[in-house]
Structure 1
Amino acid sequence: MISRALTIAGSDSGGGAGIQADLKTFQELGVFGMSAITAITAQNTLGVQGVYPVELEGLEQQITSVADDIGVDAVKTGMLFDEPRIKLVAEKIKHYQWNNVVVDPVMIAKGGASLLTENSTKALINELLPLATVATPNIPEAEAIVGREITSIDDRKQAAKDFLSMGVKSVVIKGGHDSDGHSEATTDLFFDGSTYHYFQYPRVDTKNTHGTGCSFASAITAELAKGTPLMEAVLKAKRFIHLAIIHSLNIGGGHGPTHHGAHRQYETKELDSKLEGKTWHESALTK
């Protein structure tokens, strides 16, 4: 039986992020993708022109319809828009006792538009994060959640500890937005409560990174749905999104999308030459 993954997120009319990016990723990684749309956005590579939330009843029914008939092996949350929708999604996760839960705390679109109402961060922290198998914030999102600036690896390590103190089982703090934005590499920090795992890849010089976070989180979700161990799932997702960024699509006049099919087309020939990623680990128990 094919593995099943559900994304609960916003629709991106431009096709680069949100529900559309998630479903593309699920398909590419061999799982059956399903969706529950929290909001419809009028969006393109230049920004977000409008956000139109789906009625709570409609969101609830989408989740129920999928879960009661098809079933869910892993679930990913993306843009949830506001406090009532965050609480509803948390209630559904608890009701169905889903174990593979990837929380991508989407707050700001690539063009800078806010995708989460101001009073929603507390609900995200109190209601949803404690249910997460893994959370995948970028640095600005992590700063908003822990309430302080993150400028160094040590800051990131402390923020990772803070996430686990909120009830998250593990966290990936992505390094694409680090303050040393001109360095030749980006480093993602994965913390599971006992060990810091670092995933470092060459920085790609491109403006076409729309949907990177959505696609990375949905790649982890797809792997968890298939039964891949968590750290291996994160590493496979990192490889997937790195290739997608290397071969990003120059579409539109702003931040173009990543190329979800790149892993199929290029991984064999470029695994050695361009995926020069390295990983290392550091125990947290003695720190």
Structure 2
Amino acid sequence: MSIFVDDNTKVLVQGLTGGQGRFHGLRNKAYGTKVVAGVTPGKGGQDVEGIPVYDTVAEAVAATGADASFVSVPPRFAAEAILEAARAGIPLVVCITEGIPAHDEARVFATLRAEHPGTRLLGPNCPGIISPGKTNIGITAGEIALPGGPVGIVSRSGTLTYQALYELKQLGIGVTTCVGIGGDPVPGTNFVDCLAAFEADPDTGAIAMFGEIGGIEEERAAEFIAKEVTKPVVAYIAGVTAPPGKKMGHAGAIISGSKGTAQAKMEALAAAGVHVVNNPTEAGQKMAEIVKAR
């Protein structure tokens, strides 16, 4: 099995007629993802290499039965695009857009919780989600992912998402689903959401978790793992040498005082029984040991 998406997921791309939306939407389609529609206001009736384009998400859903949206629009339009998808009843929205103002992210998060609890937002500023051999929504290169499981991956960092997939592929280890949750301060889906889903998935036998400095989501994940997760977890935390007070790449990757340090996160995870490693290659090697021992 997989989490959140499978080979029956029907995807529409908000922004399909733009450069990034077209490029990644067509790559997703070439991978085998069921990309059934595009949405660009004012361009309804056009098509992108056979994919019909609609003016609104509601029209696209009514015509195609799409149940997932891939949002690839500029930052100033992204918040409304996410909410439009939610209002149309889309259960999964994947937003790769980077640079969305934090107050827009907070407003979207609160609105989804209050008015659209049936919609899950993945991102913003994330690489997306891939269930190898089934569905790829976002910007992850499908060729670096080996299907079949038994490992589930969740990562804040896009680059580490790709490395995690490739490290496991080099070792002949398949992945059930890889979820890039993004590095912004207000992600729609967090570590705990993904850990709970992997714990419930019978085909996921072990979990790889890639975190980074900033915030307390890794510490929250550690608490959840200690109480609720029975499967082995391997974790790597990026940013050991990052200086306090300096943003490192992601908007959420900043150490404030004694909070958000890599060391604190590593200690919390280790105390929860997680196999904490020093780099992504070690994560792959430790996972290989775990898989071999199953």
TM-score, scaled relative to structure 1:
0.35
Structure whose CA Rg is larger: 2
Tell me: higher relative CO, structure 1 or 2? Use CA pairs within 8 A at least 6 residues apart: 1
TM-score, scaled relative to structure 2:
0.35
